[in-house]
Structure 1
Amino acid sequence: MTEAARAAAAAGYADLPLDTDGVPHGQPVLDRLVALLDLERIEENIFRGVSPAESPMRVFGGQVAGQALVAAGRTVPAERRVHSLHSYFIRGGDPTVPIVYEVDRIRDGRSFTTRRVVAVQHGKAIFTLSASFQLDESGMDHFEAMPDVPAPETLPTYAESAAGYLEKVGMAKLPRPIDLRYVTEPPWRAREDGPGEARSQVWMRAGGTLPDDDLLHVCVLAYASDLTLLDSVLVRHGVYWGTDKVLGASLDHAMWFHRRFRADEWFLYDCESPSASGARGLATGRFYAQDGRLVATVVQEGLLRVLP
């Protein structure tokens, strides 16, 4: 048994396919994410979700955002697709206990539906989300062109990029439901050259095949959107999670969904940071399908404290 396989078995991953660095990935890991997003309905407008056994100290922000969007979508007719969400992270989530999602049916109009979701743990709100859904309509159509970048198949895998840094890089040892390939230099390597351009570009896709469920694909994209967005802030200052004493948390998160897509096909996540101040960093991201269509836009502000 290799050292990577031995470590995986000790962590309870022996039944999952392993990447070259011994971290679970592939279809079974993606299926676990799909199950994670399949909330339990415990009452009208009330749902319950759980966190995976292999979680960081706090619930991953993309997980709670994805689950909250599932809760909202479960109260909306399927023909109305989500076009935007706005959310706030209020308290750190506890991954050892379930999260209760309470949905408020704000409005059901002729074209638009609005929902508000509050995620609750230990009797307190940890996250709020407002989402708007719309019937499909025709109208003006344009988008900014996708940057010219190498194809994802030509780039190193995440495991290859993280080689030699596995013990230091934030979530590198957690199961990987998302296949991720850095276009720009990975931030844990870029920091060795000092402060750089406030930009991060990665190709992403779900690490397997997803069911034909539009809401699920959007929720998987929402999950993935929180993985690398703040990289663009950190590389500007030559620091990174784990390799430096950086304390951080997502403060808010907004997304706009422009066009239909499949989250199990490659999409480019082009992120940049226009500003950082007051121990907060602002990052914006654009998701492009591989055919060049702009499919979603993201904005997030994060709390970032760099300790001596």
Structure 2
Amino acid sequence: MTTMPDRPTLLREPPPDPNKAPIENVLEVTELAVLGPNIFTNTRRAWHPPGARGIYGGSVIAMCLAAAQRTLSDDFSVHSCHCYFLLAGSSELPILFHVENVRDGRSFATRTVQAKQKGRCIFTTTISFVREGSAGPIPQVSHASPMPLSGPDGEPLRPPPDDFDDEPELLNEGPFQSHRIEVVNRDSPHPHEKKTRQWVRARGKITGGHQAHLNALAYVSDSYFIGTITRIHQLWRFPFRPDEIPKLPEDTQKRVRKLHEWEGLGEVEDMRGRPEVGMMVSLDHTIYFHEPRKIRADEWMVNEMESPWAGDGRGVVTQRIFSKDGTLLATCIQEGVVRLKDLPDVNSKESKL
């Protein structure tokens, strides 16, 4: 068992490379040949979202993919990635990525990657790669879902302007930029009929080639994913009740209201009496990369999410990611734990504040 120091990275964390996009710096991995073949570690501290149980799952998915790609030639691109979240990762400890060479074929190659902290596996994934052009010159069967339309008027979805800069304060410092979430069929009484849509793009200009774009898409694919359940069921998720918001400092009230509206949930006052999220954790995550060589993660992409089922404390969400020109880039599926907590007695004098 390899012992690791109680610090965020195994090696001294370098300063960000100004010639790379922020997401490339975030997802950089370093090979540790001294420990054995195909072992890598995070170059920089993993991000722990405020209030989350552990580090952001998308960063682990993407770094595992980055490590696996390092064991293959550039003419292989990922086409599917099947992941399981096992334990909450710590941002205070380095991560070791153990890549196993499962198979190398003429057209396909398979890798498994285990992400470990202090000898315990926190995440595992099996990744399949396909060699570019392996289908041959003969025309192949081909079809793809079109980009969704903006509404009953049938107009195509339009990306935000290139100079867009209106994110809530808590969201404007990450490596990805995002636009307000739109909830389609929001007034439907049936959650499975609702969908969410959001435009996203990596900040800066990605310079590391198509593999860096793939890593970036893997990273953002986990954003707001299982949280779709909370939106289509209109669940309250802040650590205080809606009726307690007027008691908060004015600047905090403004931030909460903007963030709530940003996530497509409307007015805070409409959430009074709604069920509250007690626990929300991702269990597994699958990505099918349809057009790996066409992905430009530093350009606007739109995702559309919906949930066909939820029950027994779990929920399943599907996601489709399109480029701004309408190309279907990827399809993702995630299952997670979504549990409610008992609502407090609204007549009680006790308060969480």
TM-score, with structure 2 as normaliser:
0.70
Give the structure 2 partner of residue 175 of structure 1: 173
Give the structure 2 partner of residue 248 of structure 1: 280
Q: Does 1:91 align with 2:81?
A: no
Distance (Å, rounded) in 2 between the aligned partners of 1:235 and 1:55: 19
Q: Which amino acid aligns with 1:47?
A: F
The answer to whether the 8 Å contact 2:277/2:338 transfers is no
Distance (Å, rounded) in 2 between the aligned partners of 1:305 and 1:75: 39
Give the structure 2 partner of residue 303 of structure 1: 337
Q: Which amino acid aligns with 1:136?
A: E
Q: Which amino acid aligns with 2:96?
A: V
Following superposition, the deviation at residue 294 of structure 1 comes to 0.6
- The DSSP-based 3-state class of the residue aligned with 1:88 is strand
Distance (Å, rounded) in 2 between the aligned partners of 1:77 and 1:223: 22
Following superposition, the deviation at residue 155 of structure 1 comes to 11
Relative to structure 2, which stretch is displaced further, 43-52 or 271-280? Answer: 43-52
RMSD: 2.9
- 1:154 to 1:210, Cα distance in 2 relative to 1, 3 A: closer
- The DSSP-based 3-state class of the residue aligned with 1:219 is helix
Q: Which amino acid aligns with 1:140?
A: V
Q: Which amino acid aligns with 1:252?
A: D
Distance (Å, rounded) in 1 between the aligned partners of 2:70 and 2:237: 35
Following superposition, the deviation at residue 240 of structure 1 comes to 4.5
Q: Does 1:268 align with 2:302?
A: yes
- The DSSP-based 3-state class of the residue aligned with 2:217 is helix
Match among 41, 53, 75 for residue 71 of structure 2: 75
How high is the sequence identity, in percent, across the aligned residues? Answer: 32
Q: Does 1:153 align with 2:153?
A: no
Give the structure 2 partner of residue 169 of structure 1: none
Q: Does 1:224 align with 2:220?
A: yes
Distance (Å, rounded) in 2 between the aligned partners of 1:274 and 1:66: 26
Distance (Å, rounded) in 2 between the aligned partners of 1:213 and 1:273: 33
Q: Does 1:120 align with 2:116?
A: yes
1:251-299: per-residue Cα shift (whole Å, max 9, x none)?
A: 0000011112111111110110000111111000001111111110000
The answer to whether the 8 Å contact 1:200/1:231 transfers is no
Q: Does 1:38 align with 2:31?
A: no
- 1:155 to 1:217, Cα distance in 2 relative to 1, 3 A: closer
| Count of residues paired in the alignment | 270
Distance (Å, rounded) in 2 between the aligned partners of 1:31 and 1:293: 23
Following superposition, the deviation at residue 176 of structure 1 comes to 2.0
Distance (Å, rounded) in 2 between the aligned partners of 1:278 and 1:229: 19
Q: Does 1:258 align with 2:290?
A: yes
The answer to whether the 8 Å contact 1:55/1:95 transfers is no
Distance (Å, rounded) in 2 between the aligned partners of 1:226 and 1:41: 25
Give the structure 2 partner of residue 48 of structure 1: 41
Q: Which runs of 5+ in 1 are unaligned?
A: 1-15, 17-26, 167-171
- 1:195 to 1:306, Cα distance in 2 relative to 1, 3 A: farther
Distance (Å, rounded) in 1 between the aligned partners of 2:165 and 2:287: 25
Distance (Å, rounded) in 2 between the aligned partners of 1:230 and 1:134: 28
The answer to whether the 8 Å contact 1:51/1:59 transfers is no
TM-score, with structure 1 as normaliser:
0.79
Q: Does 1:140 align with 2:141?
A: yes
1:79-103: per-residue Cα shift (whole Å, max 9, x none)?
A: 0111000000000001111110000
Q: Which runs of 5+ in 2 are unaligned?
A: 1-15, 151-156, 240-275, 343-353
Following superposition, the deviation at residue 241 of structure 1 comes to 3.4
Q: Counterparts in 2 of 1:195-210, with a 5 A limit?
A: 197-210=193-206
The answer to whether the 8 Å contact 1:180/1:204 transfers is yes
Following superposition, the deviation at residue 248 of structure 1 comes to 1.1
